[in-house]
Structure 1
Amino acid sequence: MNTVQMKAMDLIERMFQAELQYMQTDGQTNREMKSVFHPEIVVHEPEFLPYAGDWSGYTELGKLWSTMNKYWKSMKVENVKATIDEEFLFLNCTLSLVARDSGQIITQPFSEYLRLQNGLIVEATPFYFDTAQINEVLKFTPRRKDMS
């Protein structure tokens, strides 16, 4: 692994560690969050998931993670591949999620586009392979926006 790949993997590892630590402590620990995410972080979750929308800043990022924690008992990433430059990080992996209520497991491809500023993640856009499968397992029915 070259130094560019090592830098990407280090940031990804710290990003997922910050999320897990926050969820495991019910939001009591956010030191790791601030070491990875820019204060103006914005996460763009897909429109039809139960935690859809744009989540801005540390407080909303914590709320996003808390909301996700209500739905998922655990999350695991494997087969991580990434590339990085000074401004962007692109991540691809296999994501496994365990639904909190049913214990059902979803395993699917996952990608994320991360924009960086001063070495911190300032914008994140996740791409789930099959949001319909996620909603089926969570028994979540998305509300359609008025198309008129």
Structure 2
Amino acid sequence: MRKIYFICFLFILNNVFAQKKDKLNPIAVYEKVWQERSSDARLKLIKTIWLEDSTFEDPSASIKGAVALNNVINEFYKKNPDAILTSGSKVVKDNYVSWDWKILDSKNKLIMAGRDFARLNGKGQVSKIIGFWDQEVTPSETEILKNLESDNYKVVAKYYESLFKTRDFNTMATTIEEGAIYNQAEGLPYGGTYVGFNEWTKMFTKSAEFFDLEIEKEPVYFSDATKNEVIIYFTIKCKAKKSGKTLSMPISEHFDLKNGKITAIRPFYFDTKQFAEFLKSKK
């Protein structure tokens, strides 16, 4: 009887490992994508795991589709032709995979490091990847100056200052286009899609019922005038009102702009599920 139980246990264990391996296959291909230097060969690889509505978001880019991802990687190698990518062990939970990575130059000097979160669709393809950079990594001085001179940067900086520093909603309203859309993750207690500044203020008020917030690390701005978009990357420190617990959480926010006003905001939390559980937990 013990032998039968042992055989059953091995069968279950092998099945678990097989499932994990299956989920890691698209991530293994994704890492090969980043290591491939040929643009044409890389695009073919991307299309095996990437859908036209699959998205990639990090502090320097926010894109959708296979061709756009290939372009991001092409631009990366233009700036870092001798880059070598390495990655750590993978953590798998449901259809989510996360892992740490590093980029070194040919002399083994660290260029940058970070952590990626991938959402899989259960069919061997990637639905979304959100990349967070280590907080020690900062853009070059040239990039910083370029961002600071951008008109879009000034609008987003004004919005950020009004929301997180002065709490001046009248000034904030001047940065928002009529009918602008704010998408909060559905898993949050104040999640949903909010249209128009009046709805935004209701969302801000509702979120304040769950936590007190302070800025732990000021934002880094990445702007692209040709696409009328700005991405900011910063860290918040929250105190949950239900439990009294505190939590630090990096956030990447993507802004769309038109005619000098914000038309859409999409925030991405380092770990949305952890943040939602933190807000809902009790003492």
TM-score, reference length from structure 2: 0.43
* Preserved CA contact (<8 Å) 1:5 1:83: no
Deviates more, 1:67-76 or 1:94-103: 94-103
Structure 1 residues 15 and 77: CA distance shift in structure 2, 3 A: farther
Please identify, of 3-12 and 13-22, the stretch whose mean Cα deviation from structure 2 is larger.
Answer: 3-12
Query: CA offsets per residue over residues 13-32 of structure 1, 9 Å max, x none?
Result: 3222322444xxxxxx5311
Taking the aligned partners of 1:119 and 1:77, their CA distance within structure 2 comes to 28
Which shifted more, 30-39 or 65-74? 30-39
Q: 1:64 to 1:78 in 2, by over 3 A?
A: same
Question: 1: CA distance between counterparts of 2:170 and 2:161?
Answer: 11
Please name the residue that 1:102 is paired with: 243
Q: Which residue of 2 aligns with 1:143?
A: none
1:131 partnered with 2:272: yes
Structure 2 equivalent of residue 25 of structure 1: none
Partner of 1:78 in structure 2? 217
Q: How many residues align?
A: 134
% identical aligned pairs? 23
**In the alignment, residue 251 of structure 2 is paired with which amino acid?**
F
Indicate conservation of the 8 Å contact 2:188/2:272, yes or no.
Answer: yes
Q: Matched residues in 2 for 1:77 and 1:53: separation?
A: 25
Please give the alpha-carbon distance, in whole angstroms, between the structure 1 residues aligned to 2:204 and 2:234.
19
Q: How big is the shift at 1:79?
A: 4.3
Q: Which runs of 5+ in 2 are unaligned?
A: 1-143
**Larger helix proportion, structure 1 or 2?**
2
TM-aligned CA distance change 1:55 to 1:104, over 3 Å:
same
Q: Aligned residue for 1:111?
A: 252
Larger C-alpha radius of gyration, 1 or 2? 2
Q: Distance in 1 between matches of 2:235 and 2:197?
A: 26
Q: Does 111-120 or 73-82 show the bigger shift?
A: 73-82
Q: Judge conservation of contact 1:92–1:111 (CA < 8 Å) in 2.
A: yes
Q: Distance in 1 between matches of 2:158 and 2:244?
A: 27
TM, length-normalised to structure 1: 0.78
Q: Deviations over 1:43-89 (max 9, x none)?
A: 01011111111101011011011011111212315142121133100
The equivalent residue for 1:4 is 147
Distance 1:10 1:102 in 2: 37
Aligned residue runs from structure 1 range 28-47, under 5 A: 30-47=169-186
Retained in 1: the 8 A contact 2:221–2:232? yes
Residues 19 and 65 in structure 1, CA contact (< 8 A), matched pair in contact too? no
